[in-house]
Structure 1
């Protein structure tokens, strides 16, 4: 999908009057949305676990956890986006 298409879709969405209906992303965005959500959830859980195990829960825990999430998510997101299709193919071969 090109930049013009994305900008057009955003413009159409922003120019629509609010009707009370929630906006649903087109299905073509599902791989990216899946990767973004899965990586964000995993980064939050794993970083909280690692910090809690290694340093315990202390007064600066939330700040350190947030910083850890922000610095590791840019690595996790593209990793999931690249690896997920390969994993789906492997699972497809293992489960018939």
Structure 2
């Protein structure tokens, strides 16, 4: 188990990993189709999208949390 103090970091890592994985999987398929080199193209694309997703999540998540906190009771 992880300490509660790491919950924000864990959220960012899991959200960035999951979102970048699913989106890259689908977008690679849509753009290039499925053939014997599909997984190689996917891994190459994911190696770029994962760090981008981590940065984006770390920027966007706190902003979204503040907005949600303001509009919910």
Task: Please report the TM-score for the alignment, with normalisation by the length of structure 1.
Answer: 0.71
SS class of match (1:38): helix
Structure showing greater radius of gyration is 1
Shift of 1:95: 2.1
Q: 1:40 aligns with which of 17, 21, 46?
A: 17
Runs of 4+ displaced beyond 4 Å: none
Q: Which runs of 5+ in 1 are unaligned?
A: 1-23
Aligned partners of 2:44, 2:33: CA distance in 1, in Å?
16
Give the alignment's Cα RMSD to 1 decimal: 1.0
Shift of 1:57: 0.9
Aligned partners of 1:49, 1:74: CA distance in 2, in Å?
18
**Alignment match, 2:3:** 26
**Deviations 1:29-49 (Å, cap 9, x if unpaired)?**
110110001001101100111
**Alignment match, 1:65:** 42
Count of paired positions: 73
Shift of 1:50: 0.6
Which has the larger helix fraction?
A: 2
Q: Which runs of 5+ in 2 are unaligned?
A: none
Relative contact order, higher structure (CA 8 A, sep 6+): 2
Task: Please report the TM-score for the alignment, with normalisation by the length of structure 2.
Answer: 0.91
**Alignment match, 1:55:** 32
